[in-house]
Amino acid sequence: MRLLGRLFQLLFTWWNGATIGTLWTISRTGQLVGEDEQGNRYYQQRGGSRRWVVYNGYADASRVPPEWHPWLHHTLKEPPTLAPPKVKPWEKEHVPNMTGTPFAYRPPGSLAGTGARARGTGDYEAWKP
Amino acid sequence: MTKIIIDGKEYDLDPNLTLLQACEAAGKEIPRFCFHERLSIAGNCRMCLVEVRMGGRPGPKPVASCAQQLRDLPPVKEGQPLHEIVTGSPTVKKAREGVMEFLLINHPLDCPICDQGGECDLQDQAMAYGHDKLERFKENKRAVTEKNMGPLVKTIMTRCIHCTRCVRFAAEVAGVDEIGAIGRGEDMEITTYLEKAVTSELSGNIIDLCPVGALTSKPYAFNARPWELKKIESIDVMDALGANIRIDARGREVMRILPRNNDDVNEEWISDKTRFVWDGLKRQRLDRPYVRKDGKLTEADWPEAFAAIAARFATTKPERMAAIVGDLADAESIKALKDLMTALGVVNLDCRQDGAKIGLAPDGTRGPRAGYLFNSGIASVEAADALLLIGTNPRMEAPVLNARIRKAWLRGNLNIARLGPPADLNYPVCELGNNPADLIAIADGRHAAFETLKSAKHPMLIIGMGALARPDGAAVLAACAKIASATGMIGPEGEAGWNGFNLLHTAAARVAALDLGFLPGQGGRDTAGIVAGAGKGEIDTLFLLGADEIDTRALGKAFVIYLGSHGDKGAHRADIILPGAAYTEKPGTYVNIEGRVQRANRASFPPGEAKEDWTILRALSEVLGRKLPYDSLAQLREAMASDAPHVAQLDKAPGFPPADPAIWRAIGTAGPIDNAHPFVYPISDFYLTNPIARASATLAECSRSSAGRPLASAAE
């Protein structure tokens, strides 16, 4: 049953992993370059310049971590597997865009967040005895 | 009159008009940057170019219309057609476009972040008179370093187009040669030379004069855009002049205050205190009633506060009650308080917080109105040819009036003398010393000043509160009245239609309160008597209507009710605080020094639970069982008009009172003048004279910098 579901996804959805056409092209001409922490796999065209990512699950561009992003966009020649970028101690873990999920950022006064808003101070300063 | 053709139509105009004014009289709009009607003519922006056709031939070159008068044109030859001014020919259009292009070469393109945006002459005129192909200059624009002009005026000198309006204003109107231009051509810069604030109480006006965003208001910087502001025409209460102002508010916040044109009062200038007081309207506000319980002021609601007052009033005899009106009160609340106190039988009423001996005749009845007005009218200062200042420093007490005196002096026919301590007024003054008893010598004709005043055609006295707010003030006033009648300032000997007997008040509420008779009744105490009585336990209950300038520490055990807008000395001492509205928050009537009745309008609503003052008094009267007979502002104003008919005549100075010698004997009380105590000016710090000004951070900064202490460098 799970296999059937996966097949259905592969045939009819474009937002899970890659489409069937892309997978076909990659299998013909692509060469695996590496895989990131989330399990996204990165391919490069043999003898060509095209680069692909096949998402592990939901296809969301913000899931590409910063070390793979420049290679994928042809900013860097070498993939992080060959030239790993220096990681500064203050760097935070990469988090994909959480908009639309329960983990989305809510400002302190947002009704969707805590709902508790700081009381307005008014546009004047009251005299206190 | 000169006949001239303007754009094909013939007009008959005053030859003293400039070509620009002639075109305006004909309804033609002439763009300009440097020309300003109240300043001298510079003719350096060249934006007002027009073509003058003489004898039917095109003129040799365009003419700067602001710098040429109609009478400067050569006479029309026999048989020749009249001269014609053309304001819309292709030559003129091309000339204007060329001037605009030159101005814009070095003007930065920062309109989106410029505070002048939306009310900028250069923006408007570039739209109307510029052309749209300004792409031939690839060179860098010039940049000019910012100048420090103190806590009020922000400078972005790269935007300056060198119209020199600010330079001319400082030199001519303000009387301080502290702004000038250095360098030539592209290197010209407007500067204060020494990187310091302009030492003028009128310096804020250069912000209005600046046609571009080079000089803008520092406290208002980046706060609002002109199109999002609600503009309310109102009246200023910072001094007794009653300057006409426009209050710009956004929501319930006052964002800025600008002058309004009124040739009879303030022309188009206002003092810095008037202009920059608005941040005081947001601080130290009384926004809820307070009642003192066990020695501590605690928050209360209106019924609780009223009940406490009623309980107190029920047990106090009227002769042990008193009321004092402060300096910023409007006529409506003064009237309501007077009616309430009269209904309660209270006679200890006074509006003269400073103790000035005015408004009362020698027998204790109300004196004539001419005895406390600026009788000549403010505009007539320009007609005076001899002026004696008595115990007054108009530069501090009414800076705009001082500019008017300076204007008269600049015209060259005004002799000014002073009896009082020396102080810089921005025009030369003949010092007569500071011996108050000299007034009697002048009145008797034993002093040189008598002859000067007597021989002058339009002599004038200006008597300040510094001369009247002293124990022998009534004698000083009587001596001044005697000088006035003896030197022919008024009366049968003087010229008809002239009255040079002028009092200069320091409080905006004073004349209205005197008009409405807020004065001690028969056997009543005046301010000094009330304060002393409270200290001695003879006055039990004291009602202060915004009165903060009395010695609140000397009030002893008296029960003090304070009705006002700001927490100042009065509120600190009070046992019950009733939160009222500031002058921008209520429609009110104010009477200025010359007796002109003016209406202020509401720009925003009072904060929190505060209410308009007269409505508080009306509600209180019902709790006290002495219901006041008016339910609306209109009814209150009707009652006021039946009490004092002239208070219903809006925006009209009373004119010269009848030349009846009896009036002049009823002013003041003749008596000895104490020569041991010289006159002292009533205002020691111009910027901090009332509760609103004392709440303003901007004015506190001005006060600090004017006192010679170093400026806080955080501003820029």
Average pLDDT (B535-558) is 94
pLDDT average, residue stretch A70-92: 92
Q: What is the mean pLDDT of residues B469-474?
A: 93
pLDDT for B702 beyond 60:
yes
Any domain includes A37: yes
Instruction: Kindly determine whether residue B571 and residue A127, on different chains, have CB atoms separated by under 8 Å.
Output: yes
> Does residue B248 register a pLDDT over 50?
yes
Cβ <8 Å between B286 and A127:
yes
Residues 6+ apart with CB under 8 A from A86: none
Residue B285, strand partner residues: A126, B566
Residue B710, pLDDT > 50, answer no
- Of residues B237 and B660, more confidently modeled: B237
A with B: how many residue pairs have Cβ under 8 Å apart?
36
Q: Is residue B252 predicted with pLDDT exceeding 80?
A: yes
What per-residue confidence (pLDDT) applies to B619?
A: 96
In A, which residues are within 8 Å of B285 by CB distance?
A: 124-127
Whether B349 contacts B338, CB under 8 Å: yes
Tell me whether residue A123 is in a domain.
no
Highest mean pLDDT: which range of B128-137, B583-592, B645-654: B583-592
Do B302 and B577 form a contact (C-beta atoms < 8 A)?
Answer: no
Is B285's CB within 8 Å of A125's CB?
A: yes
Taking residues B373-390, report their average pLDDT: 92
CA distance linking residue B285 with residue A128, whole number of Å: 9
Note the pLDDT of residue B480.
93
Average pLDDT over residues B571-596: 95
Is the Cβ of A90 closer than 8 Å to some Cβ of chain B? no
More confident of the two residues B663 and B124: B124
Residues of B in contact with A119 (CB under 8 A): none
* Tokens linked to A43: 């391919």
Contact state of A124 with B283 under an 8 Å Cβ cutoff = yes
Residue A70 lies in a domain: yes
| Any domain includes A111 | no
Task: Nearest chain B residue to A129 by CA: give it.
Answer: B297
Q: Rounded to a whole number, what is the distance in angstroms from the first to the last CA of chain B?
A: 54
- What are the pLDDT digits (tens) for B287-339? 999 999 999 999 999 999 999 999 999 999 999 999 999 999 999 999 999 99
Which of the four pLDDT bands, split at 50, 70 and 90, describes residue B711? Answer: very low
Interface test with A, best of B223, B278, B283, B568 (most A CBs within 10 A): B283
Residues of chain B positioned with their CB less than 8 A from the CB of A127: 284-287, 566-567, 571
- The interface pTM score, or ipTM, of the predicted complex is 0.79
| A126/chain B closest Cα distance in angstroms | 5
pLDDT-based confidence at A108, cuts 50/70/90? Answer: confident
- Residue A10 domain flag: no
Please check the confidence at residue B393 and state whether its pLDDT lies above 50.
Answer: yes
Using 50, 70 and 90 to split pLDDT, how confident is the model at B708?
low
Residue of A nearest to B285 (CA): A126
Q: What is the mean pLDDT of chain A?
A: 88
pLDDT of residue B367: 86
- B622: its two tokens: 């019902």
Predicted confidence (pLDDT) per residue in B414-466, tens digit = 999 999 999 999 999 999 999 999 999 999 999 999 999 999 988 999 999 99
Q: In this predicted model, what pLDDT tens digit does every residue of B336-369 receive, in sequence order?
A: 999 999 999 999 999 999 999 998 888 888 888 8
Helix (H/G/I), strand (E/B), else coil: B593: coil
d(CA B621, CA B291): 18
Would the pLDDT of B716 be above 60? no
Mean pLDDT (whole number) for B462-471: 94
The answer to whether residues A85 and A67 touch, using CB atoms and an 8 Å cutoff, is yes
Taking alpha carbons only, the member of B30, B18, B22 closest to residue B87 is B30
Number of domains present in the structure of chain A = 1
| Cα–Cα distance measured from residue A87 to residue B219, given in angstroms and rounded to the nearest whole number | 46
What is the pLDDT averaged over residues A72-76?
A: 94
A119 in any annotated domain: no
Query: To the nearest whole angstrom, how far is the Cα of A120 from the nearest Cα of chain B?
Result: 13
In a domain, A106, yes or no: no
Banded pLDDT at B494 (limits 50, 70, 90): low
The predicted model gives A15-40 an average pLDDT of 92
Q: Is residue A62 in a domain? A: yes
Average pLDDT value over all residues in chain B: 91
**How many Å is the maximal CA-CA distance in chain B?**
97
Name the residue range of residue A40's domain: 25-87
In chain B, the percentage of residues whose pLDDT exceeds 90 is 80
Provide the b/e sequence for A15-33 (b: ≥16 CB within 10 Å): eebbbeebeebbeeebeeb
